[in-house]
């Protein structure tokens, strides 16, 4: 699927528009006609078995998490042989956009956001899920001002059984040195 092609439907979901494009895939704003709610749909755009497994792992790891600071996963499926994840559609701004637009935040607000990020990550860690790609583009502040953690695409699940040694995963600029 090309970067410019927007499907009309993915699974049972109506596609409204494309809202993002990244290394693993595209993200669309969609509508679930059965429930009548807005959804975000992440569609893998690269045909690779390892990426397919990682994508499935994202659906399983993030899908098991229920926390106010973590985006909720609703569904997983395949569209024209490409896997997709259906998740809660969150209206808001990523921290990357805040930084790019130079939106000022007071020290108190910054501390609130850090506390919310820490709470979400602690919850995930306690469930055996390590995000491994926390960066401004994967953290959103929704319209109610609540921080939401996105994109568990390279998360490590402590009980996944998948190989973990010798692999460097994440965005290098945001990775810890060790």
Active site residues: 133
Centre a 10 Å sphere on the Cβ of residue 37 and count the other Cβ atoms it contains: 12
What is the DSSP track for 7-57?
A: -SEETTEEEEEEEEE-SSEEEEEEEETTTTEEEEEEEE-S--HHHHHHHHH
Q: Which residue has the tokens 């969150």?
A: 90
Are 129 and 154 a contacting pair, CB within 8 Å? no
Q: How distant, in Å, are the alpha carbons of 29, 58, 74, 87 from that of 38?
A: 7, 20, 11, 9
Side-chain-facing half-sphere of 58: CA atoms under 13 Å: 30
What is the DSSP track for 98-151?
A: HHHTT----HHHHHHHHHHHHHHHHHHHHTTEE-----GGGEEEETTS-EEE--
């Amino acid at each position: 699927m090309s970067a410019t092609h927007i499907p009309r439907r993915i699974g049972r979901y109506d596609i409204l528009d494309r809202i993002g494009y990244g290394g693993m895939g595209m993200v669309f704003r969609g509508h679930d006609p059965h429930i009548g709610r807005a959804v975000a749909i992440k569609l893998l755009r690269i045909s690779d078995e390892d990426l397919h497994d990682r994508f499935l792992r994202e659906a399983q790891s993030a899908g098991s998490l229920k926390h106010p600071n973590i985006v909720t996963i609703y569904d997983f499926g395949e569209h024209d042989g490409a896997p997709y994840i259906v998740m809660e559609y969150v209206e808001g701004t990523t921290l990357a956009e805040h930084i790019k637009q130079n939106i000022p935040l007071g020290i108190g607000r910054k501390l609130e956001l850090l506390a919310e990020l820490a709470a979400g990550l602690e919850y995930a860690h306690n469930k055996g899920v390590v995000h491994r790609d926390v960066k401004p583009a994967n953290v959103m502040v929704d319209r109610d001002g609540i921080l939401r953690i996105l994109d568990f695409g390279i998360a490590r699940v402590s009980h996944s059984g998948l190989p973990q040694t010798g692999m460097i995963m994440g965005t290098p600029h945001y990775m810890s040195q060790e």
